[in-house]
Structure 1
Amino acid sequence: MGQVIIQSLSKERICEILHKYNRFRPIPNCASANNKTLPRVNSFPVQAGCSFDYNEGMAVYVEVAVNLPVAVGMFHYHLPEEEWAHNVAPGSLVVVPLGNQQVQGIVWRTLEHPAIAETRPVLQLLDPAPVLTPIQLALAEWMAHETLYPLATCFDLMLPPGLSQQVDLLYRLNEPALPAEGLTPVQARLVALLRERGPLRKRQIDAHLTKINWRPVAQAMVRRGMLVSHAVLLPPTARPKQARAVRLAIPPEEIDTRLAAIPRQKPEILARRKAILTFLAGQNEPVQPAWVFAGAGGGNAGDLQRLAEAGLIAYEEVEVWRDPLERVEFVLNEAPDLTRDQGAAWEAVLSAIHRAAQGEAPPPHILHGITGSGKTEIYLQAVSETLRQGRQALVLVPEIALTPQTVRRFAARFPGKVGLVHSRLSSGERYDTWRRARSGELPIIIGPRSTLFMPLPHPGLIVLDEFHDESYYQEDFPPAYSAVEAALALGRLARAVVLLGSATPDLNLLYRARQRRWPVLSLPTRILAHRQAVAHQFRQLGRPLPELTKEGERAILDLPPVQVVDMRQELKAGNRTIFSRVLQKEL
């Protein structure tokens, strides 16, 4: 049973949660939520993400969150006596019956006594591992309380596209009940479509009958018996990608003998196929054909087919990761020396990371640095130290700031450890990144606000760059939430360091930080670049090197002067161009 720190909750609120959800183990001497004399406490326990205990002959009841347009809520079921049911745990994605249809749901908790006399069984476990971690379950509960949205709606934020599926309606014709004539134009089009294409789902009909309000017409036809509809639940569209690969099927010492036994081989073909077999002999795992041809210096699909028919190689299906950073080029680099201001800020962040590793819940840290002051380097060093502690890091940036340069900086410092998440990726790329994050294979995830809901096993650092940006507020679809507030809650739950960086911090949060004595770290000086890089740039421009202050390898230069020109005064002075007189003179 792990302990999760939530500093901002009073004991009254904890007891309210306990009585409302009955999810957490009891706290001794937990009084009524109306008792105003209770002291504030710092923590309450959260269930670990393990499967339920089975006792022979005893039913196990679970509460499942279901999210449908017509039914959003919590429903009680029992686990069947099936082998797969032993893998069901809090956070598992399951299929359950609801009315006369089957729907997806997330297992929320176990129950000693269900609210109804007769429960229906859970029908299927869609993923052997829980799709939500215990920390995510606690975060979803916090979001449901703060945003007043159903718990199931908050769960949906944490699932990758294609994994969560909602019920669709399948329509088919009931030919005996169709009248020979008298159909309306919409009815006639719907009947013609179903006769041509066969039974279709609601979404498929939407694609064919665009800009036509056919759904009320179809419902009326169902009531009159002309159409028959029933609910269908499609399997998840997100699944691992499989690719064909080959491996050597004989001992390496038999290559020459077995290859020579293949009839009708010209010398050049024999040499090419021997190179393929020799290359495969040096591989410890199946290799995709393209890599075989590259490694062997030639070959084609016909060579592989002939070698497979002779039993010298064998084809296998292997899983291939869809990695959006696979083709990103970067140059490895090491951490530079820090300036005096950076060093002071880093010491404070480092101390917080060490306290978090020891089980404390450090307060959020605000990094107030002007543009170009070196905030990203603090993020990079914080990520590096977090990884050394055996934990993972989330790095959130506004969508507009998610540039290739930003990603390359992290990929160059941590090759093979960075995952990328944003809306422009394919569902397959996002699904594979989600799976690799869940397994701990990708300890660093970079992306916009949705990155906050990646299932890292043990998050230790949450970075929000430019945290004042309005894109951290979700209002387009439910639930509406602030990613900054959700990150602060996640940091409390996971006992992780939350690092909020900005050149123009949000005044409300800055005021809260000062009231609660959160550390506010300052980077007031702009760092131009490494001194050698600055000198090289000025030599190329043929200009004298300005006086630079130097700390370690870094060169510091003030921002260029800015002159504001009132174009209304320019117009009054007779300047009718779009350029001011000062700018024209400088040009």
Structure 2
Amino acid sequence: MLEFADNHHTDRLTLFAEVILPLAIAKNYTYRVPYEMNDAVAVGKRVMVQFGKSKLYTAIVAGIGTEAPQKYEAKYLLEVLDDRPVVTQQQLEFWKWLADYYLCNVGEVMAAALPAALKLASETKIMLNPDGNIDRSLLHDKEFLIVDALDIQPILSVSDIVKLLGQKIVMPVLKSMFDKNIIHISEEVSERYKPRKRSYIKLNSLYNEPDMRRELFAELERRAPKQADAVLAYLKLSREQPLVSKNDLMEASGASAAIIKALSDKEVFYIEERNVSRLYYEEFDLAANFELSEAQQNALTDIQNHFKEKEVVLLHGVTSSGKTEIYIRLVEEALHAGKQVLYLLPEIALTTHVIERLRKYFGNDIGVYHSRFNDNERVEVWQKVLNHEYKVVLGARSAVFLPFDNLGLVVVDEEHETSYKQFDPAPRYNARDAAIYLAGRYQAKVLLGSATPSFESYFNARTGKFGLAEITERFGGVSLPEIEVVSITEETKKKTMQSHFSSVLMNDIQTALTNKEQVILFQNRRGYAPVLVCRVCAFTPKCINCDVSLTYHKSSAHLHCHYCGYKEESLSVCPACGSTHLEYKGFGTEKIEDELQVLLPDARIARMDLDTTRARNAYQNLLNDLEEKRIDILVGTQMVAKGLDFADVTVIGIINADSLLKYPDYRANERSFQMLAQVSGRAGRRGKQGKVVIQTYNPQHRVIGQVISNDYKELYLSEIDERKNFKYPPFYRIIQMDIKHKDAEKLHYQAEYLAVELRKHFGDRVIGPEYPLVSRIRNFYIKSIMLKFEKDNISIVKVKSVIRDVILQFQTTQLSKGCIIQPDVDPY
């Protein structure tokens, strides 16, 4: 990185700026600063540069110096975009660590870290803000031209606007229009997060006067008695609760929406729209001065004591043990000390009730940051963190990139979740591990929370690297759910299976429905049938782009590929032998839903999987329906295991546990326990003991026994020796390298060459190359090389330096043509 120059520049001093471009290039580029920009340029500010022949990019200044680059002639910066830095020095150092640790480039980290509106480039798409009311009389000439052009063609690229205005420097104009909310960035148009709104009623303060109220009643009873009933019902409800919702009022008074509207038109009532949580939490809501239970208080004390010596503490508490209240107490402590807090959640959309709970305590001090917000909102959160307006930030994994400068506490809820790991594109980082490093830079404390911790975190806690606090009982003394294991084999022999449902599960479902309770059924595969097979010649239709069989979806009557999105019409005749004897094998959530409709025609059944939650707000609408008891049975994939908290869900059915247990992965038992325990934890969370039915062909399986006894420690102890013997985490580090090419033969030679080169340095620590489970995706053939390194007596920094050198040397050979190499550090 270039040396920093003195900020007090002489007018004619020639400065050079080293910048980070949002591209996968190995080195930062250096540009010459025009004299007139000497005082404007600064580290952390955005600048507009030309890279290549004609492409324009927003770059971040990483260093300023007076030495010109030796190998090439520096081009001039085109524009400085900011009055003050938008990226801090701490962030730049964090980006560099991420790039080094996860074997990628700083430009790739920048591309992931910055909201789209802060990194406009030539091909970025611009459109008018559909929600904005534009007063064209206030636009200057260039803005008017752009708005006019967008009226004719709704989407323009930055390159189009360069041509339209006849000038290269258009970013200041676009930035100004973005700040005024005139334009939108295309990346965020397809899906915009919309909070659920609820209407609340307020009585006009005029009628607080007794005389006015008597006059109102006399008038309404004479002309509109139903309106009088609605006002009376409002007065009664308002004495019992601070806010009266429109729905509550209609239910209590029997009034229709038209009656409420009539009272609103007369200005008797005012109707106010408010954002509310989509998840059921009100009954369990916390009073501002809530008391911790004895178990919670003991855990909090343990955490506080550990924080005196340890930087990271693991809170291991059973499902529904009240971990959130402990987080709130620790957040309060950090805020009293004047520190910022980062609260990470694996899936923001799944845990909106946490947002509402925290907002109750911290009000406008809390910000929310995740990919479902539109770009304007994300930039706003970025700026508010930069300006210290948000003291607490609640976010998904990308929140680790926000510009904190005084971080005191990081909470990682459900720290075991695979959602914290980014798989594509680079950086392939784990937000939990990145957050621990980030906290270390600020001398902040980290609390990891989970009912089923990852083995790595639990190992670190047991070996003394992390502190450990535990809660072994549910909040409020609620019992853990009763778990019953049913043998599918036995029930099939007795002929008591109804389709995919055992007699035990069907009886429990019917009992729950009779009691007006709700049921969640878990099947970790979407679609109707995973495989279509010809009974005569065993032909199975496969994806034309990937090496996977196509899954039949009844709702679309098409065969779908779940890897690349390819689909084709379903077959009625075998294309191989001409037979009409085609049958569907296996079953997914769609088939479960379909068969339940036949078996329980009166039940209201819904499905929650990737197919039903693609549409905007579809996920929130499903949760809303479940909360308001418009759904009796919810069928879903692993989505149903995360964050659902409903009072009346008393039965959980796991249709086939074997699909989890038999997965060919060294983490299969750990993941199966986590999934089964988390799904089971959705049952009986409000005073009623729940019931979980696990259907399996192997009821004696060790992991199922451990789930029944809720014995995480036994699972850990039974697995950890195998991890050590077979050289897996937490004893060894794993780096996986996927090599991809469109030609299978060339891929074979490339992968073998790389493996030989790596073995020269690392010997038998190099395993492969081998084809993964799915060996072709989107027409790219894939081979994987796995490297295992012991954690002691070896420098992982040197290891990664050697891997970079081997990849670089390979890329300089003719053999590398058409090849993509994707290193993945700590693959999960």
- Whole-angstrom distance in 2 between the partners of 1:559 and 1:480: 37
Aligned to 1:565: 486
- Can you list the C-alpha shifts for 1:477-514, whole angstroms capped at 9, x where unaligned? 22211111111110111211111111111102321333
- Whole-angstrom distance in 2 between the partners of 1:576 and 1:168: 57
**Secondary structure at 2:364's aligned position in 1?**
coil
Residue 333, structure 1, aligned to residue 272, structure 2: no
* Aligned residues with identical type, % of pairs: 29
Which moved further from structure 2: 133-142 or 115-124? Answer: 115-124
Aligned to 1:92: 45
Residue among 341, 346, 349 paired with 1:393: 341
**1:248-259 maps to which residues of 2 (within 5 A)?**
none
Residue among 484, 492, 495 paired with 2:443: 495
**1:35-54 maps to which residues of 2 (within 5 A)?**
52-54=7-9
- Whole-angstrom distance in 1 between the partners of 2:381 and 2:440: 25
Shift of 1:375: 1.0
**Secondary structure at 1:570's aligned position in 2?**
helix
Shift of 1:517: 2.6
Residue among 371, 395, 400 paired with 1:452: 400
Residue 466, structure 1, aligned to residue 466, structure 2: no
- Whole-angstrom distance in 2 between the partners of 1:576 and 1:51: 79
CA pair 511-581 structure 1, distance change in 2 beyond 3 A: closer
Aligned to 1:438: 386
AA aligned to 1:240 is D
- Whole-angstrom distance in 2 between the partners of 1:568 and 1:119: 73
Residue 584, structure 1, aligned to residue 507, structure 2: yes
- Whole-angstrom distance in 2 between the partners of 1:237 and 1:328: 33
**Secondary structure at 2:410's aligned position in 1?**
strand
- Whole-angstrom distance in 2 between the partners of 1:138 and 1:335: 40
Residue among 86, 89, 94 paired with 1:131: 86
- Whole-angstrom distance in 2 between the partners of 1:141 and 1:421: 22
Aligned to 1:157: 112
Aligned to 2:57: 103
Residue among 27, 34, 43 paired with 1:73: 27
Residue 115, structure 1, aligned to residue 69, structure 2: yes
CA pair 203-73 structure 1, distance change in 2 beyond 3 A: same
Kept in 2, the 8 Å contact 1:62–1:111? The answer is: yes
AA aligned to 1:73 is K
Shift of 1:398: 1.2
Structure 1 spans left out of the alignment, 5+ residues: 1-20, 24-46, 171-196, 206-228, 244-296, 299-324, 356-360, 529-555
Shift of 1:92: 1.2
Kept in 1, the 8 Å contact 2:348–2:395? The answer is: no
- Can you list the C-alpha shifts for 1:376-399, whole angstroms capped at 9, x where unaligned? 111111111111111111111111
Kept in 1, the 8 Å contact 2:78–2:169? The answer is: no
CA pair 476-51 structure 1, distance change in 2 beyond 3 A: farther
Kept in 2, the 8 Å contact 1:437–1:454? The answer is: yes
AA aligned to 1:346 is L
**Secondary structure at 2:35's aligned position in 1?**
coil
- Whole-angstrom distance in 1 between the partners of 2:364 and 2:327: 18
CA pair 230-492 structure 1, distance change in 2 beyond 3 A: same
Residue among 500, 504, 510 paired with 2:452: 504
CA pair 561-68 structure 1, distance change in 2 beyond 3 A: closer
- Whole-angstrom distance in 1 between the partners of 2:22 and 2:31: 16
Residue 403, structure 1, aligned to residue 351, structure 2: yes
Shift of 1:88: 2.9
Kept in 2, the 8 Å contact 1:362–1:495? The answer is: no
Kept in 1, the 8 Å contact 2:342–2:393? The answer is: yes
- Whole-angstrom distance in 2 between the partners of 1:380 and 1:109: 40
- Can you list the C-alpha shifts for 1:402-440, whole angstroms capped at 9, x where unaligned? 433111111111111111122222111112122112111
AA aligned to 1:110 is I
Kept in 2, the 8 Å contact 1:462–1:498? The answer is: yes
Shift of 1:155: 1.7
Shift of 1:146: 0.8
- Can you list the C-alpha shifts for 1:148-190, whole angstroms capped at 9, x where unaligned? 21112112222112221122399xxxxxxxxxxxxxxxxxxxx
**Secondary structure at 1:239's aligned position in 2?**
helix
Residue among 371, 380, 386 paired with 2:328: 380
- Whole-angstrom distance in 1 between the partners of 2:16 and 2:123: 27
- Can you list the C-alpha shifts for 1:207-266, whole angstroms capped at 9, x where unaligned? xxxxxxxxxxxxxxxxxxxxxx998875459833469xxxxxxxxxxxxxxxxxxxxxxx
CA pair 511-376 structure 1, distance change in 2 beyond 3 A: same
Kept in 2, the 8 Å contact 1:61–1:113? The answer is: yes
Kept in 2, the 8 Å contact 1:402–1:447? The answer is: no
CA pair 202-337 structure 1, distance change in 2 beyond 3 A: closer
Kept in 2, the 8 Å contact 1:139–1:490? The answer is: yes
The size of the alignment, in residue pairs, is 379
**Secondary structure at 1:121's aligned position in 2?**
coil
- Whole-angstrom distance in 1 between the partners of 2:505 and 2:437: 51
- Whole-angstrom distance in 1 between the partners of 2:427 and 2:389: 29
- Whole-angstrom distance in 2 between the partners of 1:139 and 1:58: 31
AA aligned to 2:69 is A
Aligned to 2:222: none
Kept in 2, the 8 Å contact 1:51–1:86? The answer is: no
- Whole-angstrom distance in 1 between the partners of 2:367 and 2:6: 28
Residue among 88, 103, 114 paired with 1:148: 103
Kept in 1, the 8 Å contact 2:14–2:66? The answer is: no
Residue among 156, 167, 192 paired with 2:122: 167
Query: What CA RMSD, in Å, does the superposition of the two structures yield over aligned residues?
Result: 3.7
**Secondary structure at 2:355's aligned position in 1?**
helix
Residue among 313, 316, 322 paired with 1:365: 313
Aligned to 1:239: 178
- Whole-angstrom distance in 1 between the partners of 2:505 and 2:393: 47
AA aligned to 1:407 is I
AA aligned to 1:480 is R
- Can you list the C-alpha shifts for 1:108-163, whole angstroms capped at 9, x where unaligned? 12335232385443332212121212221111010010112111211222211222
- Whole-angstrom distance in 2 between the partners of 1:392 and 1:419: 11
**Secondary structure at 1:327's aligned position in 2?**
strand
Aligned to 1:343: 297
CA pair 485-569 structure 1, distance change in 2 beyond 3 A: same
Kept in 1, the 8 Å contact 2:33–2:76? The answer is: yes
Kept in 2, the 8 Å contact 1:368–1:521? The answer is: yes
Which moved further from structure 2: 337-346 or 137-146? Answer: 337-346
Kept in 2, the 8 Å contact 1:160–1:431? The answer is: yes
TM-score (norm 1): 0.57
**1:132-281 maps to which residues of 2 (within 5 A)?**
132-168=87-123, 235-236=174-175, 239-241=178-180
CA pair 582-514 structure 1, distance change in 2 beyond 3 A: closer
Shift of 1:583: 6.0
Shift of 1:371: 0.6
**Secondary structure at 1:564's aligned position in 2?**
strand
AA aligned to 1:494 is Y
- Whole-angstrom distance in 1 between the partners of 2:158 and 2:42: 32
CA pair 22-419 structure 1, distance change in 2 beyond 3 A: same
CA pair 490-108 structure 1, distance change in 2 beyond 3 A: same
Kept in 1, the 8 Å contact 2:303–2:468? The answer is: no
- Whole-angstrom distance in 2 between the partners of 1:122 and 1:451: 30
AA aligned to 1:81 is Y
AA aligned to 1:414 is F
- Whole-angstrom distance in 2 between the partners of 1:169 and 1:463: 35
**Secondary structure at 1:505's aligned position in 2?**
coil
- Whole-angstrom distance in 2 between the partners of 1:465 and 1:81: 50
